[in-house]
Chains A and B, each alone.
Chain A
Amino acid sequence: MLTLTYRADHKIPVEAEVIAPDHLLGKSSADIAKLSVQHGNAQAALGEFFDVSGDASDAEIRIDGDCSRVKWIGAGMTMGRIRIHGNIGMHLGSEMKGGLIEVDGDAADWVGAEMRGGRIHIRGNAGHLVGAGYRGSRLGMRGGAILVEGKAGSEIASTMRRGLVAIGGETGDFPGVGLIAGSVFLFGTPGLRTAAGMKRGTIALCGVETSLLPTFRFDCVYRPTFLHLYLRQLAAWNFGPALKFEPGLVRRYRGDLVALGKGEVLML
């Protein structure tokens, strides 16, 4: 296992997309320390910010320390595992295609933005735009799973196309805005305008109530089987909020009729 211990105390962000098993596999700790990262408007060596020990031959990376100013960790990774003990900065797992990222702390904005595969599990809170599409993009997250046990900010799963997002605590405004497809599970109270502009996909409100936009229509009350499968999978991933949740009858609403209108909001 490769261990990176953050020892810097900078307010200027460090952009370290090199911290991913794909880039570090087969390199010695000395070589890894020499890898280039962006620090403000200058290039710097990774070793200026992190103590490096071990190697990533088993595709496992452990990161210790408060990395809330370190961005792009795990961006584009396709395999392996990153375990972060502490807070982490923006763009964690951006466009990630495979592997696992676990965070015992909080994450900033853009967690798993435009992610294609793999799984990100955050045991603290996350910022805005979890699993979203970057500005101008047609598609957000296109596969994989993002689990946030705490709260999350606004516009989570914005323009998401495929995959699973589960948030344990409250979310900000516009959860699932412009959702194209995929599944969003919210265990805490959502902010304003849930599912605004959704075309397809599922937003499941697990044990919480919210008022929907007038462009959603009540559909039916039923007991869908697939919810149990999802909740069982979340529990298998040890996602805390799902462990104690038992769905009963479900009220189904369809919308958003200002868009394609083939989406569903389920109130469990």
Chain B
Amino acid sequence: MGWMKIANGTVYDPANGIDGAVMDLWVKDGRMSAPPTEPGVRPDKTINATGLVIMPGGVDMHSHIAGPKVNVARKMRPEDKRKAPVIRRSEFTRSGTTGSVPSTFATGYLYAGMGYTTAFDAAIPPLGARHAHEEFHDTPVIDKGMFVLMGNNHYVMKSIAEKDPAKLQAFAGWLLGAAKAYGIKLVNPGGVEVWKEGGGNIHGLDDEVPAFHVTPRQIIQSLAQTAMDLRLPHPVHIHCNNLGLPGNWRTTLATMQALEGRRAHMTHIQFHSYGGDADDQNTFCSHVPKLADYVNANPNITVDVGQVLFGETTSMTGDGPLGYYLHKVTGRKWFNGDTEMEAGCGIVPITYKDKSFVHSIQWAIGLEWYLLVNDPWRIAMSTDHPNGGSFLAYPEIVQLLMDRTYREEVLKRVPPKVLQHCRLKDMDREYTLNEIAIITRASPARMLGLKHKGHLGPGADADIAIYTPSKDRKAMFEMPRFVIKSGTIVVEQGEVRAELDGVALHVNPQHDAERLPDIKKWFEDCYTIQFANYPVDPHHLPKGSVEVACDRE
């Protein structure tokens, strides 16, 4: 692969301090490069980007695009597929379906068509990792990674109860390597296990998981410490207890305080920022300011939002009791999953309506988070796809953040009393293009510890999105002029122009091999799968993988 020159574009590369500078970019062998030093070098390909906006390729750090639950959601929602546009087979694309849970190939094309080149699935049971990698194999263009569920893993809770952090560290390190995963995910720590034991849940950080005699506080602290001790590129990724319940802001604040300075990423924070009384819907309100103040004051914590957008979507979560709760609230069909020693799952269709007081507050709370976190490097854009809405709604969120007038127009559609239950109407902050570049690519890449993503400096992956500037920010970000992945032009004006596979991003932390016999015995005693058959074999990643170093300080 020779030289590519992207000439005269207006570049937004916040990680390298470039804020709208007109400059040339050079690409060599799929990576960003300094300009050639040899005289007379002529690029094999030149893109005239005069007047166009250039950013690194987008990075979605929290999405649900592969694995067992996503596949079940595809199967249980034919009505969602039936009316959605289809992707037809072409010279460069396989056919696919869309809707709130697109098929694998469609997922790759749709992300790329929007300028995103990397996405992470945030909730894979380790036992389903092989399945997830097989779906990654069929998700073209974008690079992919996964966080594996550990917050209700029996071996994890047993190790914590035995007060043996070395044992926990060895298991977590081995499990991440075995699953070819990227990070540790906690979902309703302890609560999912209580649900699986008999239909209950956990509501307080110091409530005990009966069969294991551990508390959510212990699980959170132990796994946050383990992630740091393993020097994982991404800290522990936490879905707090009590998601979606009025008054859950207290649990969220307590969880952040329980970290006691350890690094952690609080995910889809919108769903965890609710005030009010569970028995009186009229008291439902936003408690973002208090939580955002805490995040602003504590640099060990980062967040992604999980923005709700109005429309039809599918809720899918590793939080089994939450799935049941949503089923009871909405009256709609429900899938419940139980992954033996490891995790749970719930899937329910959901329609967010702008005429609904509760849904409108959820929408406003998401926007309040974007507008109240002072440092854009500490917050990432997400819809928790598809839980709050499709990832295809990101351009809509950009418009809401960059255009206060547009925000006010949407606010006029929601029930008037929403304005008394949140502070959104008083917020006049408008994001700049540079800040959008931060929260959609640079900050998620940095939070994930991906040194080769989210920027355009020499050595970075040549993942580039080139947009035609427009005052209509939604239109601008919906259809990039060009999308370049690993130095290849894959999308032109919304059309896929090349067949390209992305790679799987994973870690392989060092762990104490002397602990493996105990893990093996655990498998032989408890699992339905043999220890030797459990790890994901490299031949499940035939389209390439990148092992990211565990060297985070």
Give A contacts to B, CB under 8 Å.
Answer: 134-138
Give the segment of B71-79, B367-375, B483-491, B510-518 that binds chain A: B71-79
Contact string against A for B residues 62-81, beta-carbon threshold 8 Å, 1 for contact and 0 otherwise:
00000000000000111110
A-B contact pairs, 14 of them (CB 8 A): A134-B78, A134-B79, A134-B82, A135-B78, A135-B79, A136-B76, A136-B77, A136-B78, A136-B79, A136-B80, A136-B82, A137-B79, A138-B79, A138-B332
Kindly state the separation between the CA atoms of A135 and B78 in the bound complex, as whole angstroms: 7
Task: Provide the bound-state CA to CA distance between A165 and B77, in Å.
Answer: 27
Q: How far is the CA of A135 from the CA of B81 in the complex (A)?
A: 11
The residue in chain B whose Cβ has the minimal distance to the Cβ of A139 is B79
For the complex, give the distance between the alpha carbons of A175 and B466 in Å. Answer: 57
- Apart from A136-B76, A136-B78: 12 A-B pairs, beta carbons within 8 A: A134-B78, A134-B79, A134-B82, A135-B78, A135-B79, A136-B77, A136-B79, A136-B80, A136-B82, A137-B79, A138-B79, A138-B332
- Cα A136 to Cα B76 with chains together (Å): 7
CA distance A135 to B80 in the complex (A): 10
- Which residues of A sit under 8 angstroms from B79, Cβ to Cβ? 134-138
Complex formed: what's the CA distance from A142 to B120 in Å?
A: 41
CB distance from A116 to the nearest CB of B (A): 14
Residues of A within 8 A of B78 (CB): 134-136
- The number of chain B residues touching the other chain, given as a range, is under 10
Among the interface residues A134, A135, A136, A137, which one has the most CB atoms of the partner chain B within 10 A?
A136
For A136, the chain B residues whose CB sits under 8 A away are 76-80, 82
B-chain residues with CB within 8 Å of residue A137 when the two chains form the complex? 79
Complex-state Cα separation, A136 to B80, whole angstroms: 8
Bound CA–CA A136/B332 (angstroms): 11
B88 to chain A, nearest CB (A): 11
Measured between alpha carbons, how far is A254 from B80 in the docked complex, in Å? 33
| B82: A residues at CB distance < 8 A | 134, 136
Complex: A138 Cα to B76 Cα, angstroms: 12
Bound form: Cα–Cα A137–B82 in Å: 10
Task: Report chain A residues within 8 Å CB of B76.
Answer: 136
A135 CA / B332 CA spacing, docked (Å): 14
**CB-CB < 8 A to B77: which residues of A?**
136
Q: How far is the CA of A135 from the CA of B333 in the complex (A)?
A: 12
CA distance A129 to B332 in the complex (A): 22
**In the complex, A136→B77 CA distance in Å?**
6
A134 CA to B80 CA, complexed, in Å = 11
Q: Distance in Å from the Cβ of A109 to the closest Cβ of chain B?
A: 16
Residue of A nearest to B75 (CB): A136
The 10 closest A-B pairs by CB, nearest first: A136-B79, A136-B78, A137-B79, A135-B78, A136-B77, A134-B82, A134-B79, A134-B78, A136-B76, A138-B332
Which residues of the other chain, B, contact A135 by a CB distance below 8 angstroms?
Answer: 78-79
User: In the complex, A85 Cα to B168 Cα: how many Å?
Assistant: 75
How long is the Cα–Cα vector from A138 to B534 in the complex, in angstroms?
Answer: 39
B245 to chain A, nearest CB (A): 26
User: For the complex, what is the distance from the CA of A134 to the CA of B78, rounded to whole Å?
Assistant: 9
Instruction: For the complex, give the distance between the alpha carbons of A233 and B264 in Å.
Output: 69
Residues of chain B from 303 to 334 with CB closer than 8 A to chain A in the complex: 332
**How far apart are A184's CB and chain B's nearest CB, in angstroms?**
23
What's the Cα separation between A134 and B83 when bound, in Å?
A: 11
A267 to B210, CA, bound (A): 55
B361: min CB distance to chain A, Å? 25
Residues of B within 8 A of A134 (CB): 78-79, 82
Give the shortest distance, in Å, between B163 (CB) and chain A (any CB). 49
Which among B77, B80, B82, B332 has the highest number of chain A CB atoms within 10 Å?
B82
Nearest residue, chain A, Cβ from B79:
A136
Q: How far is the CA of A138 from the CA of B80 in the complex (A)?
A: 11
Q: A residues within 8 A CB of B332?
A: 138
How far does the alpha carbon of A137 sit from the alpha carbon of B77 in the complex, in Å?
Answer: 8
Distance A136 CA – B333 CA, assembled complex (angstroms):
9
Residue in chain A with minimal CB distance to B81: A136
A266 to B361 alpha-carbon distance, docked (Å): 47
What's the nearest-Cβ distance from chain B to residue A245, in Å? Answer: 37
- Give the distance to chain A from B534, nearest Cβ to Cβ, in Å: 34
A181 to chain B, nearest CB (A): 16
Q: How far is the CB of A200 from chain B (nearest CB, A)?
A: 15
Q: In the complex, what residue of chain B is closest to A95 when comparing beta carbons?
A: B83
Chain A residues near B80 (CB-CB < 8 A): 136
**CB-defined contacts of A138 to chain B, threshold 8 Å:** 79, 332
Query: Which residue of chain A has the shortest Cβ distance to B89 in the bound complex?
Result: A41
Q: Which residue of A lies closest to B331 (CB)?
A: A138
Chain B: minimal CB distance from A94 (Å): 11
